[in-house]
């Protein structure tokens, strides 16, 4: 930590406390979606020796973030840790990230942030290495009964989720004996919503993206139709509690109209 950062830390703590006191807990989002963006740019900006170093900082921040949401009684979070597009990156970038993810999944159950959580993975896990998939399944098994919902999107793409939902719906109609010419009558919003990867979760109220990119990149395309969005300039590994509290403050001041 730089001397400047050390000097500012007490000031940020005072600001954090002020933001917390002024938050209306009744107006906080119940479900938050997060796009954890900016690991590689953080590594370059900080002069780190390799991307793996920034990945570890980012995953430590992930655990910290889970604790922040627990402290604020946020009921559900959906965290996008790997997209299907990311899988096209070169192996020298992906392999270190897979290793850090395995470390993270093994660590979560032993942390305070991992208590009282129910973890579930969504996405095309069949595209991932077997050791990473096994670590994900172990985490789901070890964190299967908590009250707070943590959904981790891994090898996930929003368009693919919608395609999979349509396929599942059509397959179900065919099994039920619905004729092809009648299927369109059975395809509606409710039927589609019921076939999303995590259909039992309420739609996200707030979607947060770090690194300054102001786009969803396909994250929860169906579910986030009426979510509020917060695009934060800092890279994910540098994301602070004060950044999170500001996003929540702004959300709590928003009049949600749902297109009305």
Active site residues: 37, 86
The DSSP-derived string for 9-54 is HHHHHHHHHHHHHH--GGGS-SEEEEE---HHHHHHHHT-SSHHHH
Determine the 3-state secondary structure of 195 from DSSP: coil
Counting beta carbons within 10 angstroms of the beta carbon of residue 220, is it exposed (0 to 12), middle (13 to 18) or buried (19 or more)?
buried
CB atoms within 10 A of CB 191: 15
In contact, 139 and 109? CB cutoff 8 Å: yes
**Any idea which residue has 């840790």 for tokens?**
81
Q: What is the DSSP letter of 202?
A: P
Q: List all residues 6 or more positions away from 47 whose beta carbon is below 8 Å from its beta carbon.
A: none
CA torsion sign for 65, 67, 69, 74 is positive
Q: Can you read off the two tokens belonging to residue 183? A: 């299927």
| Rounded-to-integer distance, Cα 207 and Cα 246, Å | 14
Cα–Cα distance measured from residue 66 to residue 70, given in angstroms and rounded to the nearest whole number: 6
């Amino acid at each position: 930590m730089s001397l400047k950062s050390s000097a500012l830390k007490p000031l940020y703590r005072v600001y954090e406390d002020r933001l917390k006191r002024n938050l209306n807990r009744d107006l906080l989002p119940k479900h938050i979606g997060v796009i954890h963006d900016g690991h590689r740019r953080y590594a370059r900006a900080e002069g780190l020796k390799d991307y793996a170093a920034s990945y570890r900082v980012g995953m430590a921040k992930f655990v910290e973030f889970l604790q922040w949401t627990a402290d604020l009684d946020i009921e559900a979070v959906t965290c996008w840790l790997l997209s299907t597009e990311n899988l096209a990156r070169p192996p020298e970038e992906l392999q270190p990230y897979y290793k850090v993810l395995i470390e993270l999944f093994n660590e979560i159950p032993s942390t305070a942030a991992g208590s009282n959580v129910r973890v579930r993975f969504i996405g095309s896990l069949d595209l991932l290495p077997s050791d990473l998939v096994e670590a994900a399944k172990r985490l789901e098994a070890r964190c299967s009964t908590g009250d707070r919902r943590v959904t981790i999107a891994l090898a996930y793409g929003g368009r693919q989720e919608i395609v999979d939902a349509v396929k599942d719906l059509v397959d179900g109609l065919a099994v039920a004996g619905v004729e092809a010419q009648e299927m369109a009558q059975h395809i509606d919003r409710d039927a589609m919503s019921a076939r999303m990867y995590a259909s039992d979760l309420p739609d996200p109220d707030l979607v947060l993206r770090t690194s300054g990119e102001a786009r969803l990149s396909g994250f929860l395309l169906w579910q986030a139709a009426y979510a509020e969005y917060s695009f934060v300039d800092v890279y994910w590994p540098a994301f602070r509690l004060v950044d999170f509290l500001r996003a929540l403050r702004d959300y709590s001041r928003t009049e949600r109209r749902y297109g009305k």
